[in-house]
Structure 1
Amino acid sequence: MLSRRILLCLLFLCVGLTACSSDKSEQFPVKNTPEIHDDGSTTLRRGNGAEPESLDPHQARSVPAANVLRDLYAGLVQIAPDGEIVPADAESWEVGEQKLVYTFTLRDNARWSNGEPLTAQDYVYSLRRSVDPVTGSPYAQLHTPIVNANDIIQGDKPTESLGVRALDDKTLEITLKAPTPYFLGTLAHSISYPVYRPAVEAYGAAFTQPGNAVTNGAYKMASWRVNSMIGLERNSEYWDDANTAIDRVEYYPITNENSALSRYQAGELDWATKVPISQYDAIEKYIPAQLHTQPTLGVYYYGLNLRRPPFKDSPELRHAMSMAIDRRVIVDKITRGDEIPAYGWIPPVVEGYAGAKFKWATLSDTDRQAKARELYEKAGYSEDKPLKVEIRYNSGEGNKKIASVIASMWRSVLGADVTLRNEEWKVFLDSVRQGASTEAYRLAWIGDYNDPNTFFELMNSKFGLNGTGYASAEYDRLQEKQAHMPDGPERQKVMKQAEATLLGDSPVIPIYFYVSKYLIKDYVKGFEGNPLDSYYSKDLSIEP
């Protein structure tokens, strides 16, 4: 008897739905066959950019890790397909009159993947763990709105003093130190996911591994072959399992955009997160319905290491390097996907804020380059004494092309002596975090919630992912002040001051604001782009 997959392929051929039957597909063939098994179950095959550095929700720090964790775990709230915050483990919540006390009621049917009930005590344990200095979470700073969180992170108070408590098994209370307009958004982040205490205590760091992992999301861990594939299977204990359509999800770490496209065309991927720039025109021409673009809460930037020369104590040099870059050339000739040149730090799609810009943003190219050379010389460099600087970036066609173009601009405009270094993702992240040898490095920041603070917070001197070493008491003061102000004209004013301070100090060089580009097969239904770039496999289905 023919398997269901073969029958489906024959059906596609008969009705002309496969890519093999048209002139277009002969020039740009795409195999359009979903993974449907004999029992009718479905598998979603997702490209994921890179191997996750960790699947511990409280230690992960990258987008590839966040993608997998979003399927494995649930928080008190989650991001709906349209980007709105909706209930998850918490079926409801109440906010006190002073907006300091949040009381969450957990669902009666919220359970761990082993069938054990999920309780408010699980959240108390997990939130304490996420700010414990022993855990070393790079995202611990997201919890600083909670009473005593900052003191705990700094090692000045015990974790038990965190402003969270279980009123009973299904009622969780969180107390903030000041009103925080974006607080609910932080609860959808992996730093706020609960972890299963018995597994953490029994297996230590290995609690994330197949056979050990106990999760509370729509999927559970099935397999993990490092640098090959992470396999998840449907979690029948998930509170909303009845509305989960896809039975298995496979994540493939593919850093090379051309490899991702080849596997997508060959039918090995249903969703590719890497779109090669060199093939963008062909994709738009031949499979436009499979290309999904979305302006995103993200900024592509170059960080400058302020812990060591040449950028330490040299704001003139930092500004010169930034001004020498023609951002319009990069978005028009390289990225070519409607990205927006960045002359400020906050993406324009963020809610409730119109950002500041560099003072020189309106200069002509000639004047901008002349000013860059003037500052370069003021910093002590010249044709006879050129700056020697290294650009470090992680693997990827786009990153390499942008690094090469920026190096060329620094050479031609300033006369700098520029070298390039490519590193594998995990090595690259460690290099940036340690800051011992980096000078200029490529990175990006995708907002964790839809509020300007998610970008301001990154550059706080205490934030674990601030790889520049930037430490400004004035900037920290302004960032922390606006974080606890109600939305309105006064907060707008303080945010503008914070961004102006950051741009004036210039520890980062914003290059462009993101537009996400995904290739998704026609038979994957339910995808809806949102500016947070936050997606759950449970919201999708496969319908050939």
Structure 2
Amino acid sequence: MNKARPAHPTRPQAMHKTRSTVQPPARRLGLQKLMACLSFSVAATAVFALGSGSALAQTAAAPSSEPKILRYAFRVAETGFDPAQISDTYSKTVAAGIFDAPLKYEYLAKTPKLLPNTLVAMPEISADFKTLTFEVKPGIYFNDDEAFKGKKRELTAADYVYAIKRHYDPLWKSPNLYLLENVKILGLSELRQKLMKAKKPFDYDQPVEGLQELGRYKFQIKLGVGDPRFVYQFADHAFLGAVAREVVEFYGDKIMAHPVGTNAWALAEWRRSSRIVLEKNPNFREEYYREQVPADKPELAAQVKALQGRRIPLIDRVEIAIIEEAQPRWLSFLGSEADVLPEVPFEFAGIAFPGDKLAPNLAKRGIQMTRFIYPEIALSYFNMEDPTVGGYTPEKIALRRAISLGMEVDKQIRLARRGQGIPVQGPSIPGVFGYDTAFKSEMSEYNLPKAKALLDLYGYTDKNGDGWRDMPDGSPLRIEYATQPNSESRQLVELWHKGMDALKIKMVFKSAKWPENLKSANAGKLQMWGVSWVASTPDNDTFLALGDSKSKGNKARFNLPAYDALYQKQKALPDGPERLAIMREAQRMMIAYMPYKMDIHRIFTDMSQPWVKGYERNVFVRTFWNYVDVDAEAQKAFLK
């Protein structure tokens, strides 16, 4: 899901702008070429959509002498770009291009591989996993900003120390603080609590044992709990990317709109929930393309070979539109107004890749396709503090399990997801440690008779004769489910309607934009909400954390000491049989109490235009923009 909310900062309504924002005329395909690209079922709509100007149609085909521009769209709006305040996928994607974490993942590696990013080498990690020592490369510089008063600002160890401390500052209400508190950086939580109790601002200059500068370029972290996988967090640029203290103090509560980092990109334009433009950071260090072709992707061989040794990023500008509805997003790609289409909308699977093979008309155009199981779980959560669906007594558990049994996951995959998914059995994803292909559970079960029997047994019957079940005490049973105003959400709502109507449970649906629902979820105001949770590291701890009472990702507000104990125990163990056994026990406990109805692991398909070179999907590398090129001549030839 990757969820987030700014703390106190006000949201500027005006467009955030730096450098040029003047756009050339929109690119257009001729009607005949466009009609050839579309099936007859959407052709008429395409003529209207592209004729009236789509959200992405803002940049003319650039000759080779002009900047290379990559255009694509987000399907959900961003919230802002401050690492201490964000955790939603879309905001983090942008922030990851601006801020630099100490480590990074190799882009084309088949299995996740950590590499030094701003470090001279991989960090030194003690045998008990409690001490991590990092050494930063000299000569890395922040993007220019007026906060630096005209001086060139070098990255130092102090910037990473400051970035970590910001998550402990109550001012920012970091949604990611739990990831640090889980490992107990010595002294930081205590400092936070002491200052909160005294009602004093967070003291960034107060020394703590667990986070120390050892020199201009070296810093050390000491943990109270050894975590063999904590090092993965240092590859998340939008979480632990270096932040300059001067910038935060200069912009104050408007920092969400003024990200300044050392990574390859700088925010050039921002129209909230509409358009984001990034341009090359002119101070970005010299880095060169050194990727190797994965064995299972021979079709990339020629493209990767052609990119070897070139300085990255290979393009000059990234333009991101916010297009929440699936059809305009799909049509903008077909009309060559987008260069990449991440996650082809499910409703177009039948015409885009029938039988999971690229459609012949798209293959003829040279469209490129890549498919992958996303490291996420699509789920619905129950607010465990809600008087209707929450609670830990048998009748409350029975209600949640009955509701879960009433959602037909197989039909959800067939209809709403167009076959692009596999059922979830528990808080675990394929391809990482802790996933068991043989494990089956009630989580994926559809069983109306069993659900009705549970409801009857625990007193959820129709007591006033209106045809709907009531609570055991006779009060009305009414469940409100939060959703979004888009086509995919509407299809899921229809399935929920059918399932709950069959059980005679009155479920009503309240639609709002995703950021609004997120804000309500963080405040504990939603009874149920359907979202997805995305792994930020290649380990199933991400999903077990959904049940940890200290986790900000725990939107269900599940709070069970026995579960917390299991979660913390597995976290401290290296991968092996002992950890696996504890992870399975924790999974079963979460399934039994059912704070989440976990539905599917989605299978996504990305598409790119023939002039985009080197595109591949690595779900742990948010900014693929660094590693792709745009062949402007091929683009111009196609659009003639």
Query: Which residue matches 2:178?
Result: 141
1:257 partnered with 2:326: yes
After TM superposition, the structure 1 stretch with the greater mean CA deviation from structure 2, 153-162 or 514-523, is: 153-162
Select the residue among 343, 347, 350 that pairs with 2:432: 350
One-letter code of the match for 1:106? V
Following TM superposition, by how much is the alpha carbon of 1:290 offset from its aligned partner in structure 2, in angstroms? Answer: 3.6
Give the Cα separation in 2 of the matches to 1:390 and 1:305.
11
- Deviations 1:44-74 (CA, angstroms, capped at 9, x unpaired): 1121122211211111121110111111111
Q: Is the 8 A contact 2:99 2:241 kept in 1?
A: yes
**Cα gap change, 1:411 to 1:26, in 2 (>3 Å):** closer
**RMSD value over aligned CA atoms?**
2.9
- How do residues 329-348 of structure 1 correspond to structure 2 at under 5 angstroms? 329-348=411-430
What corresponds to 1:377 in structure 2?
A: 456
% identical aligned pairs: 22
- Give the 3 Å change call, closer, same or farther, for CA 495–34 of structure 1 in structure 2: farther
**1:116 is matched with which residue?**
153
Quote the residue 1:87 is aligned against.
116
Deviations 1:446-473 (A, max 9, x none): 0010011111113211112221121111
Deviation at 1:208, TM superposition (A): 4.1
Q: CA deviation at 1:509?
A: 0.2
CA contact (8 A) 1:356 1:499 kept: no
Give SS of 2:605's match.
Answer: strand
Q: Aligned runs of 1:214-225 on 2, under 5 Å? A: 214-225=260-271
> Structure 1 unaligned runs (5+)?
1-5
Q: Choose 460-469 or 503-512, whichever is displaced more.
A: 460-469
1:165 pairs with 208, 212, 232, which one? 212
Given that 1:47 and 1:274 are in contact with CA atoms closer than 8 Å, whether structure 2 keeps it comes out as: no
Superposed, 1:61-460 pairs within 5 Å as 61-81=87-107, 82=109, 83-92=112-121, 93-114=123-144, 115-144=152-181, 145-148=183-186, 151-152=189-190, 155-156=193-194, 160-161=207-208, 163-189=210-236, 190-209=238-257, 212-240=258-286, 242-273=311-342, 275-284=344-353, 285=359, 286-287=361-362, 289-313=367-391, 314-354=396-436, 359-360=441-442, 368-383=447-462, 384=465, 385-386=468-469, 387-412=477-502, 414-436=503-525, 438-460=526-548
SS in 1 for 2:270: strand
Counterparts of 1:485-496 in structure 2 under 5 Å? 485-496=573-584
SS state at 1:389 partner: strand
Matching residue within 13, 25, 33 for 1:20: 33
User: Could you say what secondary structure the match of 2:120 adopts?
Assistant: strand
Q: 1:448 to 1:125 in 2, by over 3 A?
A: same
Contact 1:349 1:531 in 2 (8 A): no
Q: Is the 8 A contact 2:157 2:218 kept in 1?
A: yes
User: What secondary structure, in the 3-state scheme, does the structure 1 residue paired with 2:69 have?
Assistant: strand
Q: Partners in 2 of 1:354 and 1:214 — Cα distance?
A: 42
Distance 1:490 1:342, change over 3 A: same
Amino acid at match of 1:248: R
1:497-516 pair list within 5 angstroms: 497-516=585-604
Question: 1:348-378 CA distances to partner (integer Å, 9 max, x unpaired)?
Answer: 2223542795644687x5xx32211111223
Task: List structure 1 segments (4+ residues) > 6 angstroms apart after TM superposition.
Answer: 28-34
- Return closer, same or farther for 1:464/1:23 CA change in 2, 3 Å cut-off: closer
Give me the whole-angstrom Cα distance separating, in 2, the residues matched to 1:233 and 1:321.
48
Q: How far apart are 1:330 and its partner, in Å?
A: 0.8
Shift of 1:24: 5.1
Q: What does residue range 461-476 of structure 1 map to in structure 2 within 5 Å?
A: 461-476=549-564
* Structure 1 residues 102-137: Cα deviation after superposition (integer angstroms, max 9, x where no partner): 221212232111241100011111111122222210
Shift of 1:90: 1.5
**Shift, 1:537, TM fit:** 1.2
Are the equivalent residues in 2 in contact too, given 1:264–1:271 (CA < 8 A)? yes
Distance 1:162 1:302, change over 3 A: farther
* Counterpart residue type for residue 68 of structure 1: V
- How do 1:527-538 and structure 2 match up within 5 A? 527-532=615-620, 534-538=622-626
1:3 aligns with: none
Shift of 1:526: 1.8
Unaligned runs of 5+ in 2: 1-23, 51-56, 145-151, 196-202, 288-310, 354-358, 470-476, 635-640
Partner Cα distance (2:442, 2:434) in 1: 25
* Alpha carbons 1:297, 1:350 under 8 Å: kept: no
Aligned-residue offset at 1:417: 1.4
Do the aligned partners of residues 155 and 471 (structure 1) sit closer, same or farther apart at CA in structure 2, a change above 3 Å counting? same
CA–CA separation in structure 2 for the residues paired with 1:24 and 1:260: 15
Q: Quote the Cα distance in structure 2 between the aligned partners of 1:308 and 1:361.
A: 21
1:372 aligns to what SS in structure 2? helix
Q: Which moved more, 1:449-458 or 1:534-543?
A: 534-543
Deviation of 1:494 after TM superposition, in Å, equals 0.9
Deviation at 1:38, TM superposition (A): 6.1
Distance 1:511 1:276 in 2: 18
Q: Is the 8 A contact 2:105 2:235 kept in 1?
A: yes
Deviation, 1:41, is 1.6
SS in 2 for 1:351: coil
Which structure shows the bigger proportion of residues in strand conformation? 1
Query: Is the partner of 2:171 in helix, strand or coil?
Result: coil
Map of 2:83 onto structure 1? 57
What is the deviation of 1:422?
Answer: 1.3
Asked whether the equivalents of residues 221 and 232 of structure 1 are also in contact (C-alpha less than 8 Å), the reply is: yes
Q: Secondary structure at the match of 1:421?
A: strand
TM-score, with length taken from structure 2? 0.76
Conservation of the 8 A alpha-carbon contact between 1:120 and 1:169? yes
Aligned residue pairs, count: 526
The superposition leaves residues 482-530 of structure 1 with CA deviations (integer Å, 9 ceiling, x where unpaired) of 1111111110111111111111111000010122333322222222223
Mark the CA change 1:121 to 1:44 in structure 2 (over 3 Å): closer, same or farther: same
Change over 3 Å in CA distance of 1:533–1:380 after alignment to 2:
farther
1:293-335: CA deviation from partner (whole Å, max 9, x where unpaired): 2112100000111111211220000110111111111112220
Q: Is the 8 A contact 1:290 1:522 kept in 2?
A: yes
1:401 alignment partner, SS class: helix
Query: How do residues 1-40 of structure 1 correspond to structure 2 at under 5 angstroms?
Result: 20=33, 35-37=61-63, 39-40=65-66
Contact 1:296–1:349 (CA under 8 A) maintained in structure 2: no
